[in-house]
């Protein structure tokens, strides 16, 4: 058995993880990040903006700022971390991008990033409808590689001081080099 807790403790843990995952979802109308993201497909291949745009278009997601989109406060740093880390949006890739984030971002690394993806995409426990669930996506070796890659970053992409939109016209490979994000 991996974890032995009472049903009351399990509900409390899942409730806390759900609150972290859905914080800030109440949005009205369109916001600037959504407009910036929607225009992303026109830039040069290999740059950050079209890679960010592709995450939304290839998965059929509404852009942050759209009434049907996920909250921009979470989506912008999370999805820009997909771009910089190079991890895809499959269940396996979501575990790796969240592990990369936990290595890079000191705030709530376990309960905000690691546990939700292990519950959702390895144990098959649905925490929220957007994420869904999947079983068996954890690859221990890739997990630790992602952790090390994230811990080597020289910038925290979840920091309020980091502005993704200031770097969207730069090649992703240059950003990876600048931020010490080893090539995946």
Asked if the model's pLDDT at residue 69 lies above 70, the reply is yes
Selection from 154, 162, 158 nearest residue 181 by Cα:
154
Confidence check: pLDDT of 33 > 90 = no
Q: Is residue 11 part of a domain?
A: no
| E strand segments, 70-170 | none
CA distances, 137 to each of 75, 94, 152 (Å): 22, 9, 24
**Does residue 80 lie within any of the structural domains?**
yes
Q: What is the per-residue pLDDT across 74-103, written as a single tens digit (0 to 9) for each? A: 899 999 999 999 999 999 999 999 999 999
Q: What percent of the chain has pLDDT over 70?
A: 77
Q: How far apart are CA 147 and CA 124, in angstroms?
A: 22
Q: Kindly state whether residue 147 falls inside one of the protein's structural domains.
A: yes
Domain assignment of residue 57, yes or no: no
Q: Are 55 and 89 in contact (CB under 8 A)?
A: yes
Whether 81 and 100 have beta carbons less than 8 Å apart is answered as yes
Is 45 among the domain residues? no
* Number of domains comprising the chain: 1
Q: Tell me the average pLDDT across 53-62.
A: 90
Asked if residue 66 belongs to a domain, the reply is no
- Confirm whether 5 is domain-assigned: no
Residue 61 falls within a domain, yes or no? no
Q: Give the residue with greater pLDDT, 16 vs 160.
A: 160
Is the separation of the CB atoms in 33 and 58 below 8 Å? no
User: What residue numbers bound the domain in which 154 lies?
Assistant: 74-179
Average pLDDT over residues 154-170: 93
Helix axes 48-59, 172-179, angle to 10 degrees: 110
pLDDT one-digit tens code per residue, 99-129: 999 999 988 889 899 999 999 999 999 998 8
Please measure the distance between the N-terminal and C-terminal CA atoms of the chain and give it in whole angstroms. 32
Report the chain's C-alpha Rg in angstroms: 16
Across the chain, what does the average pLDDT equal? Answer: 81
């Amino acid at each position: 058995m991996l974890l032995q807790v009472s049903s009351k403790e399990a509900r409390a843990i899942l409730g806390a993880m759900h609150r972290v995952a859905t914080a800030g979802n109440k949005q009205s109308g369109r916001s600037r990040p959504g407009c910036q993201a929607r225009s992303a497909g026109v830039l040069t291949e290999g740059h950050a903006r079209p890679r960010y745009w592709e995450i939304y278009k290839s998965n059929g997601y509404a852009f942050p700022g759209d009434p049907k989109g996920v909250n921009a406060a979470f989506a912008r740093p999370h999805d820009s971390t997909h771009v910089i880390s190079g991890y895809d949006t499959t269940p396996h890739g979501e575990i790796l991008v969240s592990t990369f984030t936990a290595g890079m971002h000191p705030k709530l690394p376990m309960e905000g990033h690691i546990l939700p993806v292990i519950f959702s995409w390895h144990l098959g426990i649905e925490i929220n409808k957007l994420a869904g669930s999947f079983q068996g996506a954890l690859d221990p070796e890739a997990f630790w590689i992602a952790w090390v890659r994230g811990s080597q970053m020289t910038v925290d992409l979840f920091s309020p001081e980091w502005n993704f939109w200031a770097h969207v016209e730069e090649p992703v490979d240059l950003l990876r080099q600048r931020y010490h994000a080893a090539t995946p």
